[in-house]
Amino acid sequence: MLGTGLALLALLLIAATGLSLVVGSGHVALHDVVDGVFTPDRSVRGQLVIQEVRLPRTLAGLLAGVALGLAGTVIQGLTRNPLADPGLLGVNAGAAVFVVFAISVLSLTEPGQYIWFGFLGACLAAVLVYGIGSLGREGATPVKLALAGAATTAVLSSMTSSMLLTDSQTFDQFRFWQVGALGGRDIDVLRQALPFVVVGGLLANAMGPRLNGLALGDDVARGLGQRLSTTRVLGAASVVLLCGAATAVAGPLGFVGLAVPHAARLVTGPDYRWILPYSALLAPTLLLLADVVGRVVARPGEVQVGVVTAALGCVPFILLVRRSARAAL
């Protein structure tokens, strides 16, 4: 049953990918879409649009979606917090500080130049949070990681704000990165991010049995033979790789890593061996469909995908909070 659902979800992802290639602000004939993907002739305008604009955008959505879906699932499993998302480890805040630094101090102007500073900042912030959360005899417990992440995010966000308040030109560039977008991404950037997503994705999918044990509590997990420190280090490493790559590709996209694992659980139940692959397919599907919606609703302009995912993600977030509140009564 779950295998059939996974196959149907894969077909839905293929359909969303095709829709992302076909739909845009300008009309491109279907045969030009096919030729533009497989046998491009850059002298034909429609095929050039596919090669230069829609194909990189679609690949960026696939890459960032897989990374965010897996990262959100792993971080919720590690912290045993249903409201956790990749930003809990300070990833978005760390990326923002380094992007602002690259724009303001190093005078970088192109996304292909400064997004790797975002990747570096995301990685360093996550390492810092994990290091702080690991202090003490109990090591990196879920509560300590959450507190360390909140404190680090507050400090880094204040640093970002202080730099932006003194440089309006940097703010104009930063705000377009901060909202989250798939457009304007170069194929070379995606090619460089791919190894991080592949390694992080393999590591995350291998975490399924460990996350199942961790969900039963630390004592039970130890009784099952798990080394909790190893589990948390491996999980944090996969989150860092996946979130860093997703942030480098698309900026700090909200709600995808939070909402998708819950949607997957509605079908799979609590078994992380199934939640992880379901999330890896569902997240890019959501991201591509949100991007298509953003292109259609504001023609001839567009709404950035980060705005659309936030609007779509707030609904399951509110439902989750209401369900949690009822369960607590």
- Mean pLDDT (the chain) is 81
Please classify residue 45 by burial: count the beta carbons closer than 10 Å to its beta carbon, then call 0-12 exposed, 13-18 middle and 19+ buried: exposed
Q: Is 37 within the bounds of a domain? A: no
Look at residue 272 and tell me whether its pLDDT is greater than 50: yes
Q: Is 284 within the bounds of a domain? A: yes
- Enter the pTM of the model: 0.86
- When mean pLDDT is compared over 100-109, 162-171, 200-209, the highest value belongs to 200-209
We report the CATH number of the domain holding residue 142 as 1.10.3470.10
Q: Fill in the DSSP letter of residue 83.
A: T
Structure tokens at 134: 């690991």
Residue 108's pLDDT is 74
Q: Are 299 and 25 in contact (CB under 8 A)?
A: yes
- Average pLDDT on 4-10 reads 88
Look at residue 284 and tell me whether its pLDDT is greater than 90: yes
Higher pLDDT, 206 or 79: 206
Q: Residue written as tokens 């390492």?
A: 127
Alpha carbon of 252 to those of 47, 49, 76: distances in Å? 30, 26, 18
Q: Is 143 within the bounds of a domain? A: yes
Structure tokens at 157: 């966000």
Q: Please report the sign of the dihedral spanned by the C-alpha atoms of residue 175, residue 177, residue 183, residue 188.
A: positive
Q: Are 128 and 241 in contact (CB under 8 A)?
A: no
Domain range enclosing 237: 60-328
Q: Is 55 within the bounds of a domain? A: no
Q: Quick one: which of 292, 289, 290, 288 has its CA closest to 25?
A: 292
Look at residue 298 and tell me whether its pLDDT is greater than 60: yes
Alpha carbon of 54 to those of 25, 75, 86, 112, 277: distances in Å? 11, 31, 27, 17, 26
Give per-residue pLDDT as tens, 131-166. Answer: 887 777 766 677 777 788 888 888 888 888 888 877
* Residue 328's pLDDT band (cuts 50, 70, 90): very low
Instruction: Say which amino acid occupies 144.
Output: K
Q: Is 238 within the bounds of a domain? A: yes
Residues in the chain: 329
Residue 139's pLDDT is 65
Give per-residue pLDDT as tens, 69-79. Answer: 999 899 888 88
Q: Is 184 within the bounds of a domain? A: yes
Q: Quick one: which of 58, 63, 64 has its CA closest to 288?
A: 58
Q: Quick one: which of 266, 230, 248 has its CA closest to 113?
A: 248
Burial 188-213 (b: 16+ CB within 10 A, else e): ebbebbeebbeebbebbbebbebbbb
- Average pLDDT on 174-178 reads 71
Q: Residue written as tokens 């690991």?
A: 134
- Average pLDDT on 290-314 reads 79
Q: Is 34 within the bounds of a domain? A: no
Where do runs of H (alpha helix) occur along the chain?
2-22, 30-38, 45-49, 55-79, 91-104, 111-133, 142-165, 168-178, 187-205, 208-215, 218-223, 228-250, 256-268, 272-297, 305-328
**What is the tally of structural domains in the chain?**
1
Q: Is 20 within the bounds of a domain? A: no
Least confident range of 97-106, 172-181, 201-210? 172-181
- Average pLDDT on 281-288 reads 92
Q: Rounded to a whole number, what is the distance in angstroms from the first to the last CA of the chain?
A: 34
